[in-house]
Amino acid sequence: MKSKTFRSALGVALTAAVSAVVLPASAASAAGNPAADSSVDGATATSFGRIADAVLTRRTAALLDNNQAARRMAPPVVKNVRLSAGQTKTEETALSSLRTRKARLAAMGEAYTAADTRVAVDNIRVKGGRATVVTTETTTLTYKKIRGDEPPTTGFQAHHEVKFAATADGKWQLTGITPTDDGPMAVNEPGTVAVKNAAALPSATPAATTKPSRQTQKPAGSYDYAAMAAYAEKYWSNYNPAYRKFNDAGGDCTNFVSQAMKAGGWADKSGTYDDYRSWWYDSSSQSTSWVGANEWSWFTLDSQRATNLSNVYDLGVGDVLQMDFDRDGSKDHTMVTSYRSSSGVPYLTYHSVNTYRKSVASIIASYPNSLYYAYRT
């Protein structure tokens, strides 16, 4: 099926590329359900992609500074496919949550004026009147020039499983959208993180998240910080084939940051793979400190390759930020600063969700209760 491009009422370009083979529904489970008695045809597959586009675009629009029209939009309906009653309520709650996040961002001095959300359908599985559609969302947001020194855009790639159920009249309903990435949620993802009960094993000092009245500048160091940033911004979405990926093994975020540190001059430190005092990568293996967020922190502080910063706004280009989503003492995510505005706002680039130049304000607005660990490299 050819890729099709649509344009919503908000003027955002939408793409639904449906290339997977669509499997027939299970006849044994489809009794009395006409829509489940046959395979999903190309038109229905395209409709799946279009309604996923519409829902995710509507979420993105809730963050825009000129969002009045999006608030009045009715729940999306595509030929033969619509939101279920339960999902309609879920989306209204999601939009309310995102508008709150927009207000929180505005209070921190950040806003977006435009957005481009595109959704590609990667795979469709159909069984027993149920369809699971695997999608990749690519979104770019344009920063509003509030201070005047913001970068032009921020962007991310996010993956979702979109669930559909066949109805008795031969149509389909979208019943749920679940993000499948590790790491911080995308800025248009309204979900929350559950708190875990785990032993607290902090290895670094949490950083303050309020912007200080007096900004600090990163002093010259022994590493090539520009090279770290250039590496991160080159490979944030197009992975370097010289390295293995760890997306399906706990997340690729620390592996990606280790690559950036290596590009900026960090040297291997030999030792056994499970000794946090070692740090290395080769063609067949790597140290746990190369790929593990906690182990990276332990190695970094023990080797004095980095020191803790007292405030996230002190991060400079090449510095690293880690997050403990649920405050359980275990670090969950690692990011590298690839840009810093002249007014002192750090912008982070990272894997899982693959993201380019996301401001620290945006991250804090989405996770106001998390712990943050800032490292001067």
Return the SS3 of 78: strand
The predicted structure's pLDDT at residue 96: 73
Integer Cα distance of 19 and 3 in angstroms: 8
Residue 189 neighbours by CB distance under 10 Å: 23
Cβ distance 100 to 135 under 8 Å? no
The predicted structure's pLDDT at residue 197: 36
Residue 34: DSSP 8-state: G
Residue 356 neighbours by CB distance under 10 Å: 21
C-alpha 136: how far from chain center: 11
Could you give the C-alpha distances from 11 to 58, 136, 334, in angstroms and in order? Answer: 11, 20, 34
User: What does the pLDDT profile of the chain (377 residues) look like in tens digits?
Assistant: 333 333 343 333 333 333 333 333 332 233 333 333 346 788 888 999 999 999 999 999 989 987 443 444 556 777 789 998 888 878 887 887 788 788 788 888 999 999 999 999 999 999 988 999 999 999 999 999 999 999 999 999 999 999 999 998 888 999 999 999 988 889 999 865 443 333 333 368 889 999 887 778 898 888 999 999 999 999 999 999 999 999 877 789 999 999 999 999 999 999 988 888 999 999 989 998 999 898 899 999 999 999 999 999 999 999 999 999 988 777 899 999 999 999 999 999 999 899 999 999 999 999 999 999 999 99
Beta bridge partners of 18: 121
Residue 216 one-letter amino acid: T
Q: Are strands 81-83 and 112-127 parallel, antiparallel or unpaired?
A: unpaired
